[in-house]
Amino acid sequence: MSHCAIVGINWGDEGKGRMVDLLTSEYDIVIRCQGGGNAGHTVINEKGKFALHLLPSGIFREGVVNILGNGVALDLENLWIEMEDVRSKGVAITPENLKISDRASLLLPWHRQLDGLEEARLADKKYGSTKQGIAPFYSDKYQKKTIMAGELLHPAHLKEHMADLLEWKNLTLTSVYGAEAVTMEEMKNWFADYGEKLKPFICDTGKYLHEAVKNGKKVLYEAQLGALRDVDYGIYPYVTSSNTIAAYAPVGAGIPGVRADKVIGVVKAYSTCVGEGPFVAEWFGEEAEKLRQAGGEYGAKTGRPRRVGPIDIPATRYGVQCQNATDIALTKLDVLSYMDEIPICARYELDGKETDDFVFPVLLQDCRPVLKTMPGWKCDISGCRSWEELPESARNYVLYIEEAIGCHITYVSVGAERDAYIER
Ligand code: GDP
Ligand code: MG
């Protein structure tokens, strides 16, 4: 298997970073294909604990080349800050092991500013944005109103392009939101601060990848968020502004002709969701707080408490279908060890009728979870390293999910550390 995509099946935070860090040992290249600094991929390995936002999670493995593909929202400022932080913990980041696509578009300071201004305007109707500028960035990208990273290598052209963009963007900033206009001087300083530092990493990664694939290199695609946040297939408008699905991964990576031959869908053993939007299986009160505490469910990027609930089978089955997953990595099974009985949202009830379908987004708010329970195991499973070692009721829970979502669960993760998993 030369092309493997690691993708989220649900609302994000399933443990993709943890799985990428584990599986990079088998790959030569790791590529972030979409999304931006709003990601929070937690990795715990011998180098320490990291919450990666833009850097691919293969950055810790010697010999692995990490690429930020053309599909990402390239926030030079936050990327540089993140690089400095990761480097300070003894991880080498050089143009040898990190390459930035010259076709990646730049998330500019005003995208972050506009994200905040728009969420403030929406007030209680807000989408729950991480305010990293992702939505304004992608709208500008598709309006052809931002800059490609490769333009940094052509300063005269960049200056002219920037002046045109400023004139246009200041109309929105000042007239629509009543904010201060951005000056050319400010942008010049911003590019001098961050553009210059990152210039050595920018190259034609499409060409590099074409050669690498021809020479038999193995590629891992690291997606951000999950299928239910995909702009086309998710719970619109409570989605992110890019495609989180595996089919998009090679497009955003820089090798559009390729199709991933292995798609590992990451599923959490229960449901979590950050931000707004319908969340059928949601728990509230003490029950929710207990699960949140047990799973440490606070956003890696924002620190926001995550909404929690039992695993949602209709949503997960739909996510598996959108991702066309060949394998599942089921994470955080250890978190459920405190429960006497394991709750499952097996189906939805809509208008008095039960359904297996993940229904059209606007109908989700009227769905009620149809719950079932399975016996718990009530013991610490974080030391288990083989399928046989898992208590029978834990195995039965895994097998139930496998059957219900129709995809083989190849990995069961029982801890956040690299080696805390079972392969079956
Ligand atoms: P991502 O955005 O999909 O990469 O996931 P996050 O890193 O945002 O959230 C997953 C969280 O669960 C992180 O804090 C991980 O360290 C942690 N984690 C991952 N797998 C496991 C597991 O099997 N057990 C436990 N207890 N924690 C895990
Ligand atoms: Mg995350």
List, for residues 93-148, the tens digit of each pLDDT value: 999 999 999 999 999 999 999 988 888 888 777 777 778 899 999 999 999 999 99
CA of 178 to the centre of ligand 1 (A): 41
* Those residues with Cβ within 8 angstroms of residue 395's Cβ, 6 or more apart along the chain or in another chain: 387
Which class for 424: exposed (0-12), middle (13-18), buried (19 or more C-beta within 10 A)? middle
Name residues of the chain where pLDDT drops below 50. Answer: none
d(CA 107, CA 163): 16
* Those residues with Cβ within 8 angstroms of residue 99's Cβ, 6 or more apart along the chain or in another chain: 65, 66, 67, 68, 201, 203, 205, 208
Report DSSP letters for 28-94, one per residue. Answer: SEEEE-SB-TT--EEEEETTEEEEESSS-TTTTSTT-EEEE-TTBEE-HHHHHHHHHHHHTTT----
Tokens of 127: 């989408």
Residues 388 and 354 in one domain: yes
Residues 207 and 158 in one domain: no
Percent helix, strand, coil in the chain (nearest 5)?
A: 40, 25, 40
On whether the CB atoms of residues 43 and 57 are closer than 8 A, the answer is yes
Residues 236 and 364 in one domain: no
Residues 216 and 335 in one domain: no
On whether the CB atoms of residues 250 and 264 are closer than 8 A, the answer is no
d(CA 199, CA 259): 30
Nearest ligand 1 atom to alpha carbon 266: 3
Q: Which ligand is nearest to the CA of 264?
A: 1
Q: How far apart are the first and last CA of the chain?
A: 17
The pLDDT value recorded for residue 275 is 86
Domain-terminating residue out of 157, 176, 198: 198
Domain-terminating residue out of 264, 289, 314: 264
The pLDDT value recorded for residue 301 is 66
Q: What CATH number is given to the structural domain containing 53? A: 3.40.440.10
* Those residues with Cβ within 8 angstroms of residue 319's Cβ, 6 or more apart along the chain or in another chain: 8, 9, 10, 226, 227, 228, 265, 267
Element spanning 184, H or E: helix 184-190
The pLDDT value recorded for residue 358 is 98
**Spatial CA neighbour of 399 closest among 388, 408, 386:** 408
Residues 312 and 395 in one domain: yes
Using one digit for the tens of pLDDT, what is the confidence trace for 402-414? 999 999 999 999 9
- What is the model's pTM? 0.95
The pLDDT value recorded for residue 300 is 65
The pLDDT value recorded for residue 40 is 87
Taking CA atoms only, the protein residue closest to ligand 1 atom 14 is 42
Say how many C-beta atoms besides its own lie within 10 A of residue 247's C-beta: 17
d(CA 385, CA 11): 27
Taking CA atoms only, the protein residue closest to ligand 1 atom 10 is 15
Q: Which of 19, 331, 423 to mutate to test the pocket of ligand 1 (most atoms within 8 A of CB)?
A: 331
Residues 97 and 215 in one domain: yes
Domain-terminating residue out of 264, 293, 310: 264
Residues 259 and 277 in one domain: no
The whole domain housing 245 covers 3-102+202-264
CA of 185 to the centre of ligand 2 (A): 36
Taking CA atoms only, the protein residue closest to ligand 1 atom 2 is 13
Q: What CATH number is given to the structural domain containing 318? A: 3.90.170.10
Say how many C-beta atoms besides its own lie within 10 A of residue 163's C-beta: 11
Residues 287 and 395 in one domain: yes
Nearest ligand 1 atom to alpha carbon 51: 7
The pLDDT value recorded for residue 39 is 83
Q: Which of 20, 42, 220, 306 to mutate to test the pocket of ligand 1 (most atoms within 8 A of CB)?
A: 42
Count structural domains, the chain. 3
Residues 140 and 225 in one domain: no
Residues 241 and 299 in one domain: no
Report DSSP letters for 211-279, one per residue. Answer: HHHHTT--EEEEEEEEGGG-TTTSSTTSS-SS--SGGGHHHHHT-TT---SEEEEEEESSEEE-SSS--
Backbone angles phi, psi at 169, to 5 degrees: -70, -35
Residues 299 and 372 in one domain: yes
Q: How many CA atoms lie within 13 A of 62 on its CB side?
A: 3
Q: What CATH number is given to the structural domain containing 122? A: 1.10.300.10
CA of 15 to the centre of ligand 2 (A): 7
Q: What mean pLDDT, rounded, does the chain reach?
A: 95
Residues 364 and 283 in one domain: yes
Q: Which of the residues are catalytic?
A: 13, 41
d(CA 404, CA 423): 20
